[in-house]
């Protein structure tokens, strides 16, 4: 079995980046256009500082007349306004398209994660708290949304912008620019160290966020138990501990970032002071320091140096966000890299029709290696038969049902469905012929109609009403003012256990399965609906093949065959009357329930 733990490993940045870029491929044309617009925008952004510098030189020039100065200033002002208009339009369209690309990518990724989770088997899903999976689908994808719509584009933009500024600086004065280049190795080293430590801190943050979400999801669902046993103080302390761990990881992240950004700011200030020292002296003393600067050109150079360090500071913040995105991507790819433990064989076939024949041949199964739950199970279910499985808790009854719907694969033996090995049948094809009614009925938020139809618009209201009447659900509907439009609260808490079972019966009958599976479906019913459910069961037995697991032996007396299990082995097989005559294990179980029922009377 392949579980999540096998894939919770640190992935190299190169692998993560490659996979994130792959999501851009469907949008590459528009993204290239955005990059071209970005390049044009950067060129436009570089010009204003030069215009201002030229303007200063024009204003203080002693060789130009006042009229010539005004003409120059008008031309420069017009060019400056034109650049502002162009820059505004480019920024607007670029931001809009980036958001559109980013949101489409996140929609694809979020859907991909959800779809993949649906392919995982029950054993795999049971290993991971629901809150952690919710975090993957929501919080982690939202973090990536920021990366696609903001961080990635701005990183590219800043790299291009830095390159453009360097070119301009070399053109204006290559001598001072060469001196400034001495800072780059130090900046590069600081960035590499920041990247290393920020990645580790972000991993810790994302892990702790998942822990808090998982704890909240579990404890909000189990709040009744917590309150019933006065466990609030204990849970409060556990939540505080987890929340405090999250706080510490956030503080560590802030510490890393809080060290890097001031360091970059220090380098920028040193660079600016160096320019002012060399440049102002050059202007005042007329090239005493051998660096030829006019006042306007000095201002332009100063502006470009200031702008040179600003993208580096921004990149620090963007690296911070990028590490967060990479940590989230790592978690998401952990889920996507988890292969389903139950997969269709390459030569698996469609089960077009299901007659109802099921054969177990010397089946052995274990959830944990070498701890056998089923030991050499062999039996046959013929079409349209009703077969019941009885036995003590842990005898393997529910496991057999899970194997038939292929929630798990067996280790030894063979299961045949209409004579075909179950592993050679596509899972979706197999399950569409089966209807399951479980002890714990799950109802979705929505209306009663939605829960019977399972939001399937192809099912008509007439068919739904017919199915509801068939199983006796109409006795419940008659007491609801809004009938089938009655709102269902979370998990169906506004219905009793028996009413929820009737809803599940109606749901199953509506889909007309060829095999009905009842796993302890009558265990928690109330006395008010017990007779209705018993009548419904007897009706459904005539519809198709039925497999029943039940502790209440009264519900299975009319079964064609009863299989008695104990410790993963079949002990007895026969009808109700045959097994009573044998006076074996079934007889003793029946006597215990009969005496218990008589004692209650």
pLDDT in tens, 239-297: 999 999 999 988 888 888 778 778 877 877 777 777 667 666 655 555 444 444 566 77
What tens digit of pLDDT does each residue of 139-161 get? 888 888 888 877 877 888 888 88
What pLDDT shows up at residue 522? Answer: 62
Strand runs (DSSP E) across 82-155, as ranges? none
| Residue 352: count of CB within 10 angstroms of its CB | 7
Contact 386, 546 (CB under 8 A): yes
Decide the pairing of beta strands 434-438 and 515-519. Answer: parallel
Q: CA-to-CA distance for 413 and 361, rounded, in angstroms?
A: 6
pLDDT at position 290 is: 43
Closest residue by Cα to residue 498 from 533, 466, 474, 469:
533
Per-residue pLDDT at 176: 77
Short-list 330, 38, 55, CA closest to 200: 330
The pLDDT of residue 427 is above 60: yes
Specify the 3-state DSSP secondary structure of 432: coil
pLDDT for the residue 597: 54
What does the alpha-carbon distance between residue 552 and residue 44 come to, in Å, rounded to a whole number? 81
Beta bridge partners of 545: 515
What is d(CA 501, CA 495) in angstroms, rounded to the nearest whole number?
10
Q: Are 354 and 517 in contact (CB under 8 A)?
A: no
Pairing of strands 371-381, 358-368: antiparallel
For residue 420, the model assigns a pLDDT of 93
Write the pLDDT tens digit of every residue in 390-422.
988 889 999 999 999 998 999 999 999 999 999
Contacts of 22 (CB under 8 A, 6+ apart): none
Structure tokens at 482: 């809004």
CA distance 518 to 520: 6
Number of residues written out for the chain? 601
Residue 136 DSSP one-character state: I
DSSP state of 523: T
Statement: residue 586 has pLDDT above 60: yes
CB 302 within 8 A of CB 278: no
Percentage of the chain surpassing pLDDT 70? 89
Cα angle for residues 250, 256, 257 (degrees, 5° grid): 90
Chain centroid to Cα 104, Å, comes to 16
Model confidence at 7, pLDDT cuts 50, 70, 90, reads: very low
Assign 495 to helix, strand or coil.
coil
Spatial CA neighbour of 212 closest among 240, 187, 191, 231: 240
What is the tens place of the pLDDT at every residue in 322-352?
877 888 888 889 889 888 888 888 888 998 8
Alpha helices in 222-294 (DSSP H): 223-228, 232-285
Residue 364's pLDDT is 96
Instruction: Give Cα 207 to chain centroid, integer Å.
Output: 14
Contact 465, 459 (CB under 8 A): no
Q: Return the structure tokens found at 295.
A: 């006042």
- Element (DSSP H or E) covering residue 119: helix 66-119
Task: Give the Å distances, CA to CA, from 522 to 336, 436, 499.
Answer: 38, 13, 11
User: What confidence score (pLDDT) does residue 289 get?
Assistant: 42
Residue of 313, 296, 300, 314 whose CA lies nearest to 168: 300
188-233: per-residue pLDDT in tens?
Answer: 787 777 777 777 787 788 788 888 888 887 888 788 778 877 888 8
Mean pLDDT across 62-86: 74
Instruction: Please tell me the predicted confidence (pLDDT) of residue 463.
Output: 92
Residue 589 — very low, low, confident or very high, per pLDDT cuts 50/70/90?
Answer: confident
Residue pointed to by tokens 């988890």: 338
pLDDT digits (tens, 9 = 90+) for 511-552: 888 898 988 766 656 666 667 777 777 777 777 898 998 877
Residue 312 has pLDDT above 80, yes or no: no
Q: How many Å apart are CA 564 and CA 572, to the nearest integer? A: 5
Instruction: Give the burial class of 419: count Cβ atoms within 10 A of its Cβ; 0-12 exposed, 13-18 middle, 19 or more buried.
Output: exposed
Is residue 301 a contact partner of residue 275, using CB atoms and an 8 Å limit?
yes
Which tokens sit at 62?
A: 């002693």
Residue spans of the domains in the chain: they are 4-336, 358-600
Model confidence pTM above 0.85: no
d(CA 564, CA 599): 25
| Alpha-helix residue ranges (DSSP H) falling in 379-472 | 397-404, 427-431, 448-453, 461-471
For residues 125 and 119, give the distance between their C-alpha atoms in angstroms, rounded to a whole number.
10
Predicted pLDDT at 378? 96
Give the 3-state secondary structure of residue 458. Answer: coil
Angle among Cα 116, 117, 118 to the nearest 5 degrees reads 90
**Nearest CA to 143 among 212, 210, 65?**
210
Residue 225 tokens read as 């138990």
Distance CA 308, CA 317 (A): 15
Q: How far is it, in rounded angstroms, from Cα 522 to Cα 549?
A: 9
Distance CA 115, CA 384 (A): 35
pLDDT digits (tens, 9 = 90+) for 368-381: 888 999 999 999 99
Question: What kind of fold does domain 358-600 have according to CATH?
Answer: Rossmann fold (3.40.50)
- How many C-beta neighbours within 10 Å does residue 302 have? 19
Q: How confident is the model at residue 97 (pLDDT cuts 50, 70, 90)?
A: confident
Q: Would you state the torsion angle of the CA atoms of residues 71, 76, 82, 84, taken in this order, to the nearest 10 degrees?
A: -140
Q: Please write the tens of the pLDDT for every residue from 437-447.
A: 877 788 888 89
Which is higher by pLDDT, 69 or 419? 419
The three-state DSSP-derived secondary structure of 503-543 is HHHHHHHHCCCCEEEEECCCCCCCHHHHHHHHHHHHHHCCC
The pair of three-digit structure tokens given for residue 259, joined into one six-digit string: 């060290």
**CATH fold for the domain made of 4-336:** ABC transporter transmembrane region fold (1.20.1560)
């Amino acid at each position: 079995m392949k579980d999540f733990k096998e894939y919770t490993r640190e992935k190299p940045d190169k692998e993560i980046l490659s996979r994130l870029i792959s999501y851009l491929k469907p949008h590459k044309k528009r993204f290239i256009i955005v990059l071209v617009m970005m390049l044009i925008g950067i060129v436009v952004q570089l010009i204003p500082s030069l215009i201002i510098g030229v303007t200063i030189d024009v204003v203080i020039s002693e060789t130009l007349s006042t009229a010539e100065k005004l003409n120059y200033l008008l031309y420069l002002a017009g060019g400056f306004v034109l650049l502002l208009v162009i820059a505004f339009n480019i920024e607007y369209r670029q931001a809009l398209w980036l958001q559109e690309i980013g949101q489409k990518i996140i929609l694809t990724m979020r859907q991909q994660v959800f779809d993949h989770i649906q392919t995982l088997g029950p054993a795999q899903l049971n290993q991971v708290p629901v809150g952690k999976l919710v975090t993957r689908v929501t919080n982690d994808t939202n973090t990536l949304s920021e990366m696609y719509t903001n961080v990635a584009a701005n990183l590219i933009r800043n790299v291009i912008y830095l390159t453009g500024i360097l070119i301009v600086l070399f053109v204006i004065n290559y001598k001072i620019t060469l001196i400034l280049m001495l800072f780059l190795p130090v900046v590069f080293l600081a960035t590499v160290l920041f990247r290393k430590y920020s990645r580790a801190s972000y991993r810790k943050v994302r892990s702790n966020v998942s822990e808090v979400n998982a704890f909240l999801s579990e404890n909000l669902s189990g709040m009744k138990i917590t309150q019933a046993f006065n466990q609030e103080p204990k849970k409060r302390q556990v939540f505080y501990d987890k929340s405090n761990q999250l706080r510490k990881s956030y503080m560590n992240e802030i510490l890393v970032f809080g060290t890097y950004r001031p360091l970059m700011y220090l380098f920028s200030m040193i660079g600016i002071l160096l320019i002012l020292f060399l440049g102002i002296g050059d202007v005042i003393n007329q090239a005493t320091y051998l660096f030829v600067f006019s006042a306007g050109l000095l201002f332009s150079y100063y502006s470009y140096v200031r702008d040179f360090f600003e993208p580096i500071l921004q990149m620090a913040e963007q690296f911070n966000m990028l590490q967060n995105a990479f940590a989230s991507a790592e978690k998401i790819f952990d889920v996507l890299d988890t292969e389903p433990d139950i997969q269709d064989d390459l030569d698996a076939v469609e089960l077009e029709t299901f007659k109802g024949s099921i054969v177990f041949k010397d089946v052995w199964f274990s959830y944990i290696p070498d701890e056998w739950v089923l030991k050499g199970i062999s039996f046959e279910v013929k079409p349209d038969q009703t077969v019941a499985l009885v036995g003590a808790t842990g005898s393997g009854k529910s496991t057999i049902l899970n194997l038939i719907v292929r929630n798990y694969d067996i280790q030894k033996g063979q299961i045949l469905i209409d004579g075909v090995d179950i592993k050679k049948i596509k899972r979706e094809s197999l399950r569409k012929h089966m209807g399951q009614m479980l002890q714990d009925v799950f109802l979705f938020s929505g209306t009663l109609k939605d829960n019977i139809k399972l939001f399937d618009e192809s099912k008509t209201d007439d068919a739904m009403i017919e199915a509801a009447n068939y199983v006796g659900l109409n006795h419940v509907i008659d007491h609801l003012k809004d009938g089938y439009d009655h709102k269902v609260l979370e998990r169906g808490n506004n219905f009793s256990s028996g009413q929820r079972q009737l809803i599940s019966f109606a749901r199953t009958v509506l889909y007309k399965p060829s095999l009905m599976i009842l796993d302890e479906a009558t265990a928690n019913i109330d006395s008010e609906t017990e007779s209705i459910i018993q009548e419904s069961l007897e009706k459904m037995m005539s519809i198709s093949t039925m497999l029943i697991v039940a502790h209440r032996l009264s519900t299975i007396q009319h079964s064609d065959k009863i299989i008695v299990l104990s410790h993963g082995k079949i002990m007895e097989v026969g009808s109700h009357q045959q097994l009573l005559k044998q006076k074996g294990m079934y007889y003793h179980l029946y006597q215990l329930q009969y005496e218990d029922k008589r004692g209650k009377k």
